[in-house]
Structures are given as structure tokens and as C-alpha cells.
Amino acid sequence: MTKLRIAIDGPAGAGKSSVSKLLAERLDLSYIDTGALYRCVAFEMIMNDVALDDERGIRRILADLQITFRMEKGKNRVFLNGRDVTAQIRTEQVGMLASTASALPFVREALFAMQRRYAEKGGVVMEGRDIGTVIMPEADLKIFLTAKPESRADRRMQDIKTAGLEEKPYEDLLEEIRRRDDQDTQRAACPLRPADDAVLLDNSSMSLEETAAYIIDLAEKKWGQGVCRRS
């Protein structure tokens, strides 16, 4: 396995996870979804009735947090303290609370060490909000992946349909996306922003394949054709 480090940051619904998974597979790297860590904290808060202002309760959750990832048939399974929570952490309620809790500096600090371990190992595609700026500033390639809120709401609607989840009006999805963008970009602690050396990529009118191909092309220009072992 190569020791390349790729950072993919961007707002909710820009397609970071799908693209990162594809890149990891094609470039033979491991894939780390850092949003899942924040989602696990939020999930535990909900399950244990821990409020946002209960710092002691949240710290207890953070101290006991054991998260592992396992790639199974192209799906990134997330285990929280030994339990498969892959589906449970994907709800809008968990996403929104993850976004709110992620603004707490002590939460970010606790998850920092965990993320740094993955970064230091290398051979990784990490996706999140502050990977290129804070977690892995030494990354070999940084992409800031974005798309218009309308395109992201469209995609979210498609995903919900495909997954057979309860459908929501387009306007509600758009509103949720805008609210999360505001929270993630306006917070004081490590707000979502592109690193100075990140490549900005708006994929509003690009397919997943086109987005992945664009990034692989950048990687190949930097490291040569051999970087892509399986395409």
C-alpha cells in the first residue's frame, strides 16, 4: 500500500463519501469518514439522553468511545463500542446534532487524536470538514468538494428514494442543507473552509464517475500513472 494522503473536505451532500470510497478503491488506500466519528458522539448523546450543555455527560461518552470501520462489499460499516451503527447514524437528527456538537472545542479535541492516528499511518483518503486545514495539513492532495445547495438537495432526494427511506419535500431538504452549511461554516472551532493549497471542485453538474476521474487525473499528474492500480 502506498503512503499517499488525500484530504477531501466540503459541505454536507457534496458527494464526499461516494467519491472518497471510489478513490480509496482505485488508488488502493484506506478510507476514513471522519463525519462518522461526530455522528457516533451524537448517536450516543441521543441514546443516553445527554444534552448539549451536559459537558460531563459528553466527556464520559468521549472517554468510552471505541469506533472501528470495516469495508464490506463496498459499504463502509461503522462499529461503535462493538455494535454496528452504520444505518442508525445516518438519520437527519443524528447529522444535525453531530453538526451542533462538533462546534464544541472539547469534542473536536477528543476526536483529534483518533483522526491523527489515521493521518500518521498514511495510505489514506480522509473526508470531513477540517482535514486539509487541521487534521492532515501535510496531505499530498487536498480537494475542497462542493456543489450548489440545489444540486445537493436533489441528490439527497435521490439517495432517500434509493434507500427506501421516508421521503421529504425538496424544500425541507434544501432548508436542512442550508442550515447545516451555516452551522459548519460559522462555528468558531475549525470551521469548514478550504485549505490555502486545496483544489476547489464544484461538482454540481458532474457525475460521481466524472468527479472521481478528475481527482485521479490530478493524482496521476502529481505521482504518475502508476498511482492508479485498479481502475
Residues near ligand DC (CB under 6 A) are 12, 34-35, 38-39, 95, 98-99, 102, 128-131, 180, 184
Report d(CA 194, CA 130) in Å as an integer.
8
User: Which residues, other chains included, contact 5 with Cβ-Cβ below 8 Å and sequence gap of 6+?
Assistant: 119, 122, 123, 124, 126, 136, 138, 139, 140, 141
- Contacts of residue 165, defined as CB under 8 A and 6 or more positions apart, other chains included, come to none
- Least distance to ligand DC from the beta carbon of 16, Å? 7
Q: Name which of 21 and 180 has its Cβ closer to ligand DC.
A: 180
User: In the bound complex, what is the minimum distance in angstroms from residue 95's beta carbon to ligand DC?
Assistant: 5
How near is the Cβ of 9 to ligand DC at its closest, in Å? 7
Shortest distance in whole angstroms from residue 211 CB to ligand DC: 16
* C-beta of 78 vs 215, nearer to ligand DC: 78
* 44 versus 130: smaller Cβ distance to ligand DC: 130
Torsion of CA 194, 200, 204, 210, to 10 degrees: -130
Nearer to ligand DC, 102 or 211 (CB): 102
Nearer to ligand DC, 71 or 231 (CB): 71
Q: What's the closest the beta carbon of residue 158 comes to ligand DC, in angstroms? A: 17
Q: For residues 120 and 41, what is the distance between their CA atoms, to the nearest angstrom?
A: 23
CB 37 within 8 A of CB 109: no
